[in-house]
Amino acid sequence: MHMLVNCSNCHIPLQLPLGAQSIRCALCQAITHIADPRSLPPPLPPPPQPYNYYSAPTLPPPAPSPYNHAPPGPPPSPHGRKKAVICGISYRYSRHELKGCINDAKCMRHLLVNKFSFPESSIIMLTEDETDPYRIPTKQNLRMALYWLVQGCQPGDSLVFHYSGHGSQQRNYNGDEVDGYDETLCPLDFETQGMIIDDEINATIVRPLPPGVKLHAIIDACHSGTMLDLPFLCRMNRSGQYVWEDQSPPSGVWKGTNGGEAISFSGCDDNQTSADTSALSKITSTGAMTYCFIQAIERGQGITYGSMLNSMRSAIRNTGNDLGGGPVTSLLTMLLTGGSLSGGLRQEPQLTSYEPFDVYAKPFSL
């Protein structure tokens, strides 16, 4: 069980484990004390130095370990024109297990490298298949990868965050959610370390974006409609007509960027979930959204954001029909388990943005 407390410095909500008397904010590193300081446990170690994902995080002096080494290969350029974090979590050997998420991650990397010319050295992969301990999709590793994504970004940069795994919700207590719930990502160790809430995701990769930098997020999870807490949601009907719905927090907290662009495609609306269906249905919905995103691009239906969203929604409504496409779609078909895109789905992909725009006029590109 966790309770929410606001950081004493930046006021971001933090999940306090039951019984804990203090907590360090992952964003500003301030320590918030919950009890009389005389009864607090020993001080926490100093905050980590600016994070380089290809170096081990700064930790207290450790005992000798085979993991205390820098991963092989050249580090991604901190000022690369294109950077991506791709996270696929299967929750293997647990009651939460999913089958399609690591495949989603592999296919997204294939798409970014071969279709949009992302350098492989500028893509961080977080899956259980990785051998580097800092690329296992734990809460701390995912947080650090998101910090890395926006580190040193400059005008002209294109950033991508793709997540395929479990999403959830928890009650919001600071009044910045229209529906009263925060959306959350569930890292591999969420049952012991807690979830990552949308407030933190927004503060980490949305609000710092300077002019000239664009961020795209593709969130393939339940309750993912406003996972980046962006202030505007595109409400689109089946005939393609749309309106922008203002999702700005009632509290007045700013959830936009620092002048850059941030746009998110998500697998379903905030209130949609497949938690009450069979495991296969959840696996299907997880894989289908990424599949339809890639398929729309390969079929030439991703010219604008409007055509992209329409194509994804139509494909998910018509799952089980012809799913032919280009080489990435073929790879996806090969990787996904049999029957993972049949039966028809009820979730509808959503589009959120840092500001309203004409979805049929704005070209889509990563």
Which residues are within 8 A (CB) of 184 and not within 5 positions of it... i.e. 6 or more apart? 167, 168, 169, 170, 195, 196, 197, 198, 223
Query: Looking at 101, 107, 186, 222, which residue is catalytic?
Result: 222
Q: Does the annotation count 222 as an active-site position?
A: yes
> Is 11:26 a contact under the CB 8 Å cutoff?
no
Residue 227: name the closest of 191, 202, 194, 258 by CA. 202
> Is 261:210 a contact under the CB 8 Å cutoff?
no
Report the half-sphere exposure of 303 (CA within 13 A, side-chain side). Answer: 5
Q: What are the strands, taking DSSP E only, across the chain? A: 2-6, 13-17, 22-24, 31-33, 82-88, 123-127, 158-164, 167-171, 181-185, 196-197, 214-220, 232-236, 242-246, 261-266, 350-353
Query: Looking at 101, 162, 166, 268, which residue is catalytic?
Result: 166
Helices (H) and strands (E) counted in the chain, each on its own, are 7, 15
> Is 82:130 a contact under the CB 8 Å cutoff?
no
Both tokens of 108, joined, read: 């997204």
Tell me how far apart the 2 most distant CA atoms of the chain are, in Å.
67
Q: How many residues does the chain have?
A: 366
> Is 23:12 a contact under the CB 8 Å cutoff?
no
Displacement of CA 73 from its chain's centroid (Å): 25
Q: Does the annotation count 166 as an active-site position?
A: yes
Which residues are within 8 A (CB) of 195 and not within 5 positions of it... i.e. 6 or more apart? 15, 139, 168, 170, 184, 185, 186, 187
Residue 88: name the closest of 185, 165, 201 by CA. 165
User: Active-site positions?
Assistant: 166, 222
